[in-house]
Structure formats: C-alpha cells, structure tokens
Homo-oligomer: A and B are copies of this chain.
Amino acid sequence: MSNLILRNVRPYGEAATDLLIRDGVIAETGTIADQPGIAVEDGQGAILWPGLIDAHTHLDKTTWGMGWHENNRAAVLRERIDYEREMRLELGMDPHRQSMRHAIGLAAHGATHIRSHVDIDTTHGLRLVEGVQQTREKLRGIIDIEIVAFPQSGLMVMPGTLELLDEALANGCEVLGGIDPCGIDRDPKGQLDALFALAGKHGVPIDIHLHEAGELGAFTMEMIFERVRATGMQGKFVISHAFALGMNDELRVARLVEEIAELDIGIATTGAPSATVPSARRLKAAGVRLGAGCDGIRDTWGPWGLPDMMDRARIIGMKNGVRSDHELRHMLEIVSQGGADLMRLDGYGIAPGCKADFTLLRGQTVGHAVVQPALPPLVVKAGKIIAREGHCIVDMP
C-alpha cells in the first residue's frame, strides 16, 4: 500500500487539482504541499479517471505474442467453440502465459480490474482456471482479476461439467458462468435450473453469455427472470452480450428492459460491431447497470480486439451512434463505473476515501480523450504507479 502525491490532474475532466494518496487510499484532494518521504508525480494536466474495468473477457484465450494465427474457416458459434477447445492443445496455448499477456496489456492501457470468464470442460478440467489463478497471484497489486467458472462448451451437452464447476467454485472462482441455454445446451430449463441451484449452493452471482438473438434470446431472458425472482437473485445476475435487446420489436424490448431494471440484472456489452446489441442509451435511461468488456482478443475465434478498454469504449460508442460529448462521457463511464457496478466493487472512484486505483487520460476534454487513440500517461493501482505511457512495470512473458 503506497503513498503518493499527484500534482495537476483534472478529476473527470474538471478543474486541475492535486491528490494525496496514503496507504493506497485517496486521502485528500486540493492543493497538496510536499510531505517528507512521499514521492511527487506531475500529472501535467491530464484527466484523472477511475481505473478502467474489463467486465467481460477471456484472459487465457488470446494468441497474443504467439505469432499470427491464420484462420480461413467459416465457422458458426458451436464450431468455434469446438475448434478452440482442441486447438488450445495443438497450439500449445499456456493459459498462465497467455492470461499474463492479456492482463498486462489491459493494465498498461489503464485497467485496474478484470472479470474473466474461464472455460471449464471435460477436455481441460480445471487446468485453464488454474492458469488464470496463477496469473491473478502474480499480478496482485498490479490488476485485480475476478474469475467466472464458465462452461463454454455447454453444461447439459457435456456431462461431467457441472461437477467441475462445483469444484471450481469451491476453489476460488467468484462467479458462476453460463452460455446460451437454448443455442448451445438445447435444454434451457435443464441448464438454468442447474445453474441457479449451483449458484445457490455456493452463494455466488451468475454471469451468463447470451448470444441468442431476437425472440430466442427474449424467451431465454424470460426464463432467467422467473428464476431470479423465485430464488431471490435480484442484483446478483448479469447477462453478457444480451444481443436480443438489440432486436427491432420496440414493445418487446421495452418490456424486457423494464424487467431487467426491476430485477436489478446487470448487462455486460462488447458493442459487437456485426451483431444486434443492447442500446446503451436505453439501458441508462432505465437505470440498468451496464458494464463492458473486450471479450476475446485475437484468439481462435477471430482476429479482432486489443487489450485496451479505451479502444472498446470507441467501438461501443460508434456502434451506439454516439455523437454528443455527454454520450462520449457515458461511454467512458460504461468502461469504468459501469464495470464497478456489475462487479459490486467496494471503494471504487476518485473521491477521498476511495482506493487509489485510477488512470490518467490525455485529452482537452473527456470527449476528446474518448475519441483520440492515445496511451494513458500513468496508471495507478493501490497508490502505486503500475504503468507509464502504455508500458506496464511487469513485462509480458
């Protein structure tokens, strides 16, 4: 837990001030005099923003640093899943090494927290979770990693997976994942009942991938709503992707959003450019917690993505047809406070009393900082400088 004086920064783009950090906590803002034994850093008028949050990613899936993975298959979701499960072995993808690369990349670009969904299946068992857990230990004090026990290959269609999820939750995974109860598992009742029972047993929240679009996804959401209500999981459920909320049926979407708000279900978006995505504007108006993630980056599924939540804010903003400065600001809130709301982080923010987890951003205004690709001049975790100009103090392995 470090001490630091940071001079001349603009909290949320407002007037410049100084910051005193004591024991990893923001102690004071205003004009701060030098203090014996406390290092001083010049913020040079940069924007001060709470640490960015990747609330939906897959740290161990990236091929980053392994040479370009050429891929000329025309695969649909199920095929991508099966291809990846087998290619991990063929390519020698070390889950610890790859998750280190991805997480360090995120930290270098201003992130201080990650929620990573990690595959659990009968081919790999808990090997992938263990690799990411090693990374979490190694990067303690650099970036916080929360792990979702994620049945990527399906739960009902792959017997033995439920037991592995149970074991993972007993061994340090904080959240239970899930995936397309119809599309992947072909048994929505079976999968959802099993997930809610397991989450109840371990007292953990659920964060489910829902790629199902249109009416199919809407149907699954309704099944989720029933179970959230019946089990008292209000406030403890996140729907990731939620592509069905991007469908055209105005009344249908309005009703789904209303129920999502009422049950305090969170939504994690990636702004998927080629899919129908939830409207950030609409969810904000309804008071729904909305975070965002980079999802898989440069993996066997596809070539896109960077370990950079500012890049993601731009993708989400463009997809949502954002043009105004107040909506640009909203995009930055989604990749910061929005993620903290999804993950229920304590002490998040840049007010006195908050944990000193933040990034500096370059830009004349907040809107400018969002649209202009630039490396963050400084990233601070628990009061310690962990990256400068896009370079983390820990090198990628």
Contacts and interface: CB of A to CB of B under 8 A. Distances in A.
A46 B3 CA distance: 46
Copies of this subunit: 2
Nearest to A308: B373
Given A273-B318, A273-B321, 8 more contacts: A68-B368, A74-B324, A273-B273, A274-B319, A274-B320, A302-B323, A303-B367, A304-B323
Nearest to A363: B68
Interface string A314-347: 1101111101111010000000000000000000
A73 interface: yes
A70 interface: yes
A320 to B, nearest CB: 6
**Lowest 9 CB-CB distances: which A-B pairs, in order?**
A274-B321, A273-B318, A302-B323, A68-B368, A68-B364, A303-B371, A72-B324, A273-B319, A68-B365
Contacts of A321: 273-275
A67 interface: yes
A73 B315 CA distance: 21
Interface in A57-79: 67-68, 70-75
Interface size class of A (residues with CB under 8 A): 35 or more
A70 B274 contact: no
A301 interface: yes
Given A367-B68, A367-B70, A368-B68, A303 B328 contact: yes
A328 B70 CA distance: 11
A221 interface: no
Contact of A318 (B301, B315, B317): B315
A39 to B, nearest CB: 32
Interface in A283-327: 298, 301-304, 306, 314-315, 317-321, 323-326
Which of A318, A324, A364, A371 has its CB near the most chain B CB atoms (within 10 A)?
A318
A165 B317 CA distance: 36
A318 B304 contact: yes
A319 B277 CA distance: 12
A29 to B, nearest CB: 25
A314 B319 CA distance: 14
Interface in A365-379: 365, 367-368, 370-371, 373
Contacts of A365: 68, 70
A73 B324 contact: yes
7 contacts: A71-B323, A273-B321, A274-B318, A302-B323, A303-B370, A303-B371, A304-B323
A72 B367 CA distance: 11
Which of A319, A321, A323 has its CB near the most chain B CB atoms (within 10 A)?
A323
Contacts of A323: 71, 75, 301-304
Nearest to A271: B273
Contacts of A370: 303
A369 to B, nearest CB: 10
Contacts of A68: 363-365, 367-368
A67 B372 CA distance: 12
B306 A373 contact: yes
